[in-house]
Structure 1
Amino acid sequence: MNHFQGKSLLKESDYTPSEINYLIDFAIHLKALKAQHIPHPYLQGKNIALLFEKTSTRTRSAFTVAANDLGAHPEFLGKNDIQLGKKESVVDTAKVLGSMFDGIEFRGFKQTAVEQLAQYSGVPVWNGLTDTWHPTQMIADFMTLKEHFGHLAGLTLTYVGDGRNNMANSLLVTSAMLGVNVHIGAPQDLQPAAEIVALAKQYAKQAGSAVVTTDDPAVAVTGADALYTDVWVSMGEAVDYGQRIKALLPFQINAALVAQTGQADTIIMHCLPAIHDHETEIGAQLGEQYGLAAVEITDDVFNSAQAVIFQEAANRMPAIKAIMAATLGDLFIPDSIFNG
């Protein structure tokens, strides 16, 4: 009866909009159970492999705590523990891990790696981030929006900054799937790939929402219920920081940009980590070198009452818990929910 059972989550469009909505609602439910100290060990006796080619704070913590809460045992395998593609192919690794584990999380670089793991392991595989998509973050982000506004359809979300990274891709497509108007504000050479915009527009047409990509920050933020940004240089990306900062400074989320939304109650979102002060090595170094107090978001906005950034970060855990439980927990989820 549960058509999530045994299914992987490699990118948002693997699921239907109603399935994504279900995962968001299920995450809100699991968050309430935890708050009430009601046990929910849907994955009792299961073993979960956590594969991390890229470092992580929130994703690793969320998968570990979620697995424990669900009664499963998580096993962390970092880049020094696995040979993905170096001494052992992804396909061979997938076959071995699939014979021992009930589910696999992967956080790394190539989307093809997570796809091969899913194809050859025979168990559900969850994308904890690749260079192309970040689906577990989406369940947490739209869960946060739903908690705040009470609904999703008809909201307007604006993302400003590097419009070609995994966060921009995922926000573009997921917003469109859920009937959220999505605006991407970025310089022309940092806008999302044409095929990702086309996919988003396809979903938006069905949901009756708008997709806007623009290089004008004021146009991007007008009417935004939520303003979202991410770091300007992605993990492992080799770029000239000076050039990138110069190009993206007009898209910095600061008090002036927030005011340009024309909305009194715009919320501020960020997937973290954020360079909002000099309290990190990178923040101090960039601040000194380029005369900046902050990079993609100013400290006053980051710490403002409008910011829901730490609620969003905390929501990574119930969101990931919902994904794992739905796909591996033998739950009763009637198809009628998704068939109207």
Structure 2
Amino acid sequence: MLFNLRILLNKAALRNGHSFAVRNYRCGQPLQNKVQLKGRDLLTLKNFTGEEIKYMLWLSADLKFRIKQKGEYLPLLQGKSLGMIFEKRSTRTRLSTETGFALLGGHPCFLTTQDIHLGVNESLMDTARVLSSMTDAVLARVYKQSDLDILAKEASIPIINGLSDLYHPIQILADYLTLQEHYGSLKGLTLSWIGDGNNILHSIMMSAAKFGMHLQVATPKGYEPDPSITKLAEQYAKENGTKLSLMNDPLEAARGGNALITDTWISMGQEEEKKKRLQAFQGYQVTMKTAEVAASDWTFLHCLPRKPEEVDDEVFYSPRSLVFPEAENRKWTIMAVMVSLLTDYSPQLQKPKF
């Protein structure tokens, strides 16, 4: 029966001009996979062990290889739908989620502030219950982490954080996949963060030590990461034998760093602070002068969109810049998140070295 179904799907694919083939995607390597994430929420990487995060990256690499390199058709999410709640606009989060979910055979439903008002026309509790009855998962890009917490508490389906004021976990998965592809392993790398103590940094702080990566952070005074998150990150560093350094000197944070990382200085909702922030962040632009003190194999990451005051063109468009592979990997990592939370699929690709 399954064999006949694959034949029919292959014929349908060829009629539509596709050259890929449908495989028995249920096989994989279940004996090697002891990680079970099905049915869980992804609100912050704080809630995941190092092995669980590595598994999502392994699955990302597997899907990327099978679909992009081998041209296979894997309808792992066929018959499933995704609710996408976006209070904040986005290019990469929307495109990666919509195209990725659809590529796996699912149906993404994009909902803006014009379509759904979280906690305004309908309570968060009621919204969570309605979406749970009509979709298989929800990705929400919101202003407040507390809204995600309420959605997760009230929903009976997985809730995925597409960005909040505190965390941006799906971005960090793409960052780590990009670094793993480039360096071959993550353990022992030094990440140098130069910029705002924001949601991106918080997500790095909740996960880097779990891979054995060191983290050197430079933020202007008054723009440090959340103290409670810093305290937990210090605990992670101690448990994993890594170094966590927080300072106000960009060059010192870049010293010996393998990956130089920055982000916007002015997030959505902080526009009124623009003048004040631009003044506070003077001297924090990533340039070749910054790179001079970094490791000889330094690379550069930025989650985009980028502004010239954050990083100059010489670094941003240099061969050392991984920003565009990083952007593409948003797609493969969010696909892996959806597959791991909604299916029993196991990767067939040999597990990468982390």
1:175 is displaced (CA, Å) by 1.1
Return the offset for 1:2.
6.0
Distance 1:89 1:227 in 2: 42
Match in the other structure for 2:172: 138
* Counterpart Cα distance in 1 of 2:317 and 2:346: 41
Counterpart-to-counterpart distance in 1, 2:288 and 2:300: 11
Which of residues 302, 315, 324 is equivalent to 1:310?
Answer: 324
Whether the 8 Å contact between 1:40 and 1:70 is mirrored in structure 2 is yes
State the distance in 2 between where 1:152 and 1:330 align: 27
Who is 1:96 aligned against?
Answer: 130
Stretches (4+) displaced over 3 A: none
SS at match of 1:145: helix
| Cα distance in 1 between the residues matched to 2:332 and 2:38 | 18
Aligned positions of 1:1-340 closer than 5 A = 3-35=36-68, 36-163=70-197, 165-261=198-294, 263-276=295-308, 295-332=309-346
Distance in structure 1 (CA, Å) of the matches to 2:318 and 2:209: 28
Write the deviation string for residues 226-272 of structure 1: whole angstroms up to 9, x where unpaired. 000001111111443233222212111011111122x2220000000
Q: How many Å apart are 1:122 and its aligned residue?
A: 0.2
- The answer as to whether partners of 1:118 and 1:125 remain within 8 angstroms in 2 is yes
Checking the alignment, whether the CA contact within 8 Å between 2:190 and 2:213 is kept in structure 1 is yes
- Matched-pair contact (CA < 8 Å) for 2:76–2:105: yes
Determine if contact 1:214/1:220 at 8 Å carries over to the other structure.
Answer: yes
Deviations 1:83-119 (A, max 9, x none): 2111111111000010110111100111111111122
* Residues 111-152 of structure 1: CA deviation (Å, up to 9, x unaligned): 111111122120011111001000111110000010011111
TM-score by length of 1: 0.89
What is the deviation of 1:309? Answer: 0.2
Distance 2:220 2:211 in 1: 26
CA distance in 2, matches of 1:233, 1:197: 21
In 2, the alpha carbon distance for the partners of 1:260 and 1:91 equals 51
The percentage of aligned residue pairs carrying the same residue is 38
Question: 1:47, CA displacement in angstroms?
Answer: 0.9
Report how far residue 200 of structure 1 moved.
1.0
TM-score, normalization: structure 2?
Answer: 0.86
1:189-239 Cα offsets, whole Å, 9 max, x none, are 111122111111111122211111100112111110000000111111144
Distance (Å, rounded) in 2 between the aligned partners of 1:309 and 1:200: 25
Larger radius of gyration: 2
Work out whether residues 49 and 76 of structure 1, in 8 Å CA contact, stay in contact via their aligned partners in 2: yes
> Gapped runs of 5+ residues in structure 2?
1-33
Paired with 1:258 and 1:312, the residues of 2 have a C-alpha distance of 19
CA offset at residue 159 of structure 1? 0.9
Residue-by-residue CA offset, 1:8-44 (whole Å, 9 max, x unaligned): 1000011111100111111111111121211222111
Q: Which secondary structure does the structure 2 equivalent of 1:51 belong to?
A: strand
1:303 aligned partner, one-letter code: Y
Aligned partners of 2:35 and 2:52 also within 8 Å: no
Cα distance in 1 for partners of 2:217, 2:333 equals: 24
- Residue of structure 2 equivalent to 1:281: none
SS in 1 for 2:261: strand
Cα displacement (A) at 1:332 = 4.8
Partners of 1:212 and 1:40 lie apart in 2 by 43
Give the residue type in structure 1 aligned to 2:297.
D
Task: State the distance in 2 between where 1:25 and 1:306 align.
Answer: 24
CA-CA distance at 1:185 after TM superposition: 0.6
Show CA shifts across 1:154-195 (max 9, x none).
Answer: 1000111112x1011111222122211011111121111221
CA contact (8 A) 2:35 2:55 kept: no
2:141 partner letter: R
* Residue ranges of structure 1 left out of the alignment (5+ in a row): 277-294
Q: Which residue of 2 aligns with 1:285?
A: none
**Deviations, residues 63-88 of structure 1 (Å, cap 9, x unaligned):** 11111111111011111100211111
Given that 1:144 and 1:315 are in contact with CA atoms closer than 8 Å, whether structure 2 keeps it comes out as: yes
